[in-house]
Amino acid sequence: MELNEAIRGRRATRQFTRAQVPRPILLELIDAAIQAPSAINTQPWHFTVIQNQALLDRIAAASKAYMLDAMAHVTAPAHPREHLQNPDFHIFYHAPALVVISATAGDWAVEDATLAAQNLMLAACAKGLGTCWIGFAQRWLGTDEGKQSIALPPEMLPVAPIIVGYPAVAMPPVPRTPPRVRWFD
């Protein structure tokens, strides 16, 4: 697939077939991810791949509870809270796989892991796979309990939980607002 096609064709995917993503394909996505630039070339990323549904359900339930509790203490937009309050809402949309991209905590951990995440999502798109960054899982995975659930060492920061699977439906394009650009000539 041509790069521009992947950039424009990638969509947050929220409906998946039941087909599992084979491990060699996930490894190819991770190989694309690690081609990303990183500050001072530290390559601080770490990938946790979860294909165990029981563990995915456990992380989903704990993340949901954590986010609902966090939202109770701040003025949060109604839309995400309503989703989280729905007992049938599964934050991973029953995707067959979750890749958590973490980075060794440091000045550029978030930037480095995020660049790796975008590479992974574009590479997935080029292979006919759907992905979605699940911010709902991010906060709980960053807690001691969350890190322990995926055996992540304490010094690692989970940045990008990305679900991966085969799309069950074609996702319609999400319109973009025109870029706000200021020129200094």
Ligand X SMILES: Cc1cc2nc3c(=O)[nH]c(=O)nc-3n(C[C@H](O)[C@H](O)[C@H](O)COP(=O)(O)O)c2cc1C
Residues that bind ligand X (CB under 6 A): 11-12, 14, 132-136, 174
| Residue 24 or 71 having the CB closest to ligand X | 71
Q: Is the CB of 22 or the CB of 137 nearer to ligand X?
A: 137
For the chain, the first-to-last Cα distance in angstroms comes to 36
In the complex with ligand X, the residue whose CB is nearer, 16 or 133, is 133
Among candidates 175, 140, 149, 177, which has minimal Cα distance to 11? 175
Closest CB to ligand X among residues 97, 132: 132
Closest CA to 6 of 132, 174, 130, 179: 130
SS3 50: strand
Q: Could you tell me the smallest distance in angstroms from the CB atom of residue 104 to ligand X?
A: 20
Rank residues 24 and 175 by Cβ distance to ligand X and give the closer one: 175
Cβ atoms < 10 Å from Cβ of 30: 18
Q: Nearest-CB residue to ligand X?
A: 135
In the chain, DSSP finds a helix count (H) and a strand count (E) of 7, 4
DSSP 39: G
Cβ(102)–Cβ(159) below 8 Å: yes
CB of 142 to ligand X, least distance (A): 13
Minimum distance from residue 183 beta carbon to ligand X (Å): 26
Q: In whole angstroms, what is the distance from residue 108 CA to residue 94 CA?
A: 31
* Cβ atoms 57, 126 nearer than 8 A: no
Q: What is the closest distance, in whole angstroms, from the C-beta atom of residue 161 to ligand X in the complex?
A: 8
Smallest separation (angstroms) from ligand X to the CB of 113 = 11
| In the complex, minimum distance from the CB of residue 11 to ligand X, in angstroms, rounded to a whole number | 4
Comparison of 30 and 95: residue with beta carbon closer to ligand X: 95
